[in-house]
Amino acid sequence: MEEVAVLIVGAGPSGLAVSNCLSHLSIPNIVLEREDCCASLWRKRSYDRLTLHLAKQFCSLPYMPHASPSSTFMPRKCFIEYIDSYISRFGIEPHYCRSVESGSYIENEKKWRVEARNTLTQEKEVYVAQFLVVATGENSKCFIPELPGLDGFEGKIIHSSEYKSGKDYENQKVLVVGCGNSGMEIGYDLANFGAHTSIVIRNPFHVLTKEMVYIGMLLCKHVPMTIADAVVTFLGKFWYGDLTRYGIHRPAKGPFNLKVANGKTPVIDVGTIKKIQSGDIKVLPEIVRINRNNVVFENNVVEQFDGIIFATGYKSTTNYWLKDYEYIMNKDGMPKRPCPRHWKGENGIYCAGFSKEGLAGTARDSVAIANDINEILNGMKGKIKVN
């Protein structure tokens, strides 16, 4: 059994940022990570052409702004290099291959007890801590919807997190299900590699360029979000025109308000819209059922496919292992309290990286959590600030 002041579960950007902020305040902490590396989402579960959609100034972790020569929109590899320098510069040493299987609050000791499986030795380890920080991410588990006949599909099925590039799909008929940023970018990549690509679109979403989002992010700092929404929506309409004939409708709520309220990210177009307009990517409506290699759509169209890529998003898994989740989370594994008070629960539990605001949210959460713990332990308020 190991006892520590703060136990952090997850060594993604959020867990690393919390650990660094605590260490700057001389608060002892341990980070547990189920994989054999940190930032596993970025190393193992993302595709080759992935580039940050937000400008680097909105994607840095506390105490380390991005170096000025790096590109404004960083490729995945550069972001991984940034994370590698982050852990080496601040001496963060997560305990890898520790899959946390349970976490519960011990009432009479006023401490958290966490059990982790060492995936190399299969041995169980027990940790006890005054504070527990959940940093397992909003994207902890891949989500694939249950569709009638999916089990009998005779082609290849993958989730977007397993997709690397379209090079294995040349000349194949591929269906991408889901039109968030993963689906739209994977569709684009497939078409570039010569796959006959279709994409399922079923609900309204915003389409913007990364430059428009950049302008919107800057505006959000100085004017009410509703104004940023109005400006960015205007730019999106002006640039893309009416896309309804392709099944693309705009939601009534603006892109930034929608992101904060529902976590729905606007689609940041990498060139997919042009390919949809030119017919290189075909838009199809919701799937009704699947018969062997045939997929039946809501409009009664039946198409045959060699493969399906489910870009249908992710779920949080905190509630699978966190027994006393109700001190901080809802049944869906997301924070009970609305942003910006989402990061603090009762009895010394916190969550980092669940603000639905990407890495900018991670940076804010980690500073807030470290300051709060420092205040409880040492009585010092607001000791550290965001970059």
Ligand X SMILES: NC(=O)C1=CN([C@@H]2O[C@H](COP(=O)(O)OP(=O)(O)OC[C@H]3O[C@@H](n4cnc5c(N)ncnc54)[C@H](OP(=O)(O)O)[C@@H]3O)[C@@H](O)[C@H]2O)C=CC1
> Which stretches of the chain bind ligand 3IO, using CB under 6 A?
53-54, 213, 256, 259, 265-266, 357-358, 360
**Neighbour count for residue 91 (Cβ, 10 Å):** 9
Residue of the chain from 180, 247, 251, 285 that contacts ligand X (CB under 6 A): 180
The rounded distance, in Å, linking the Cα atoms of 203 and 219 is 27
In this structure, what token pair is assigned to residue 278? 């030119």
Q: Is 67 exposed, middle or buried (0-12, 13-18, 19+ CB in 10 A)?
A: exposed
Residue of the chain from 41, 142, 158, 377 that contacts ligand FAD (CB under 6 A): 41
Site string for ligand X, 58-87 (x = CB under 6 A): ------------------------------
Site string for ligand X, 310-349 (x = CB under 6 A): -xxx------------------------------------
Identify residues 44-63 at the interface with ligand FAD (CB under 6 A): 46, 50, 52-54, 59
Identity of the residue, 273 or 295, whose beta carbon is nearer to ligand 3IO in the bound complex: 273
Residue 285 preceded by cis peptide, ω within 30: no
The rounded distance, in Å, linking the Cα atoms of 192 and 176 is 14
The rounded distance, in Å, linking the Cα atoms of 323 and 344 is 17
The rounded distance, in Å, linking the Cα atoms of 162 and 91 is 31
Identify residues 327-356 at the interface with ligand FAD (CB under 6 A): 353
Residue of the chain from 24, 43, 202, 337 that contacts ligand X (CB under 6 A): 202
The rounded distance, in Å, linking the Cα atoms of 133 and 20 is 13
213, interface contact from ligand 3IO, ligand X, ligand FAD, none, CB < 5-8 Å by kind: ligand 3IO
Question: Does 20 interact with ligand FAD (rule: CB under 6 A)?
Answer: no
CB–CB of 384/12 below 8 Å?
Answer: no
Residue of the chain from 178, 216, 254, 333 that contacts ligand X (CB under 6 A): 178
99, interface contact from ligand X, ligand 3IO, ligand FAD, none, CB < 5-8 Å by kind: ligand FAD
CB–CB of 333/136 below 8 Å?
Answer: no
363, interface contact from ligand X, ligand 3IO, ligand FAD, none, CB < 5-8 Å by kind: none
Site string for ligand FAD, 73-102 (x = CB under 6 A): --------------------------xx--
Nearest Cα to 384, choosing from 375, 371, 373?
Answer: 371
Question: Does 147 interact with ligand FAD (rule: CB under 6 A)?
Answer: no
Number of residues interacting with ligand FAD: please give it, by CB under 6 A.
Answer: 34
Residue of the chain from 130, 172, 182, 316 that contacts ligand FAD (CB under 6 A): 182
Identity of the residue, 235 or 377, whose beta carbon is nearer to ligand 3IO in the bound complex: 235
Identity of the residue, 56 or 196, whose beta carbon is nearer to ligand FAD in the bound complex: 56
CB–CB of 138/316 below 8 Å?
Answer: yes
Neighbouring residues of 35: CB distance < 8 A, sequence distance ≥ 6: 11, 44, 96, 97
In this structure, what token pair is assigned to residue 127? 């940790």
Q: How far is CA 129 from the centre of its chain?
A: 27
Question: Does 254 interact with ligand FAD (rule: CB under 6 A)?
Answer: no
Neighbouring residues of 218: CB distance < 8 A, sequence distance ≥ 6: none
Q: Is 89 exposed, middle or buried (0-12, 13-18, 19+ CB in 10 A)?
A: exposed
Question: Does 14 interact with ligand X (rule: CB under 6 A)?
Answer: no
For residue 376, what is the enclosing H or E element? helix 358-378
Identify residues 151-170 at the interface with ligand X (CB under 6 A): 160
Instruction: Please give the residue ranges that form the binding site for ligand FAD (CB under 6 A).
Output: 9-15, 32-35, 40-41, 46, 50, 52-54, 59, 99-100, 135-140, 182, 317, 321, 353, 358-359, 362
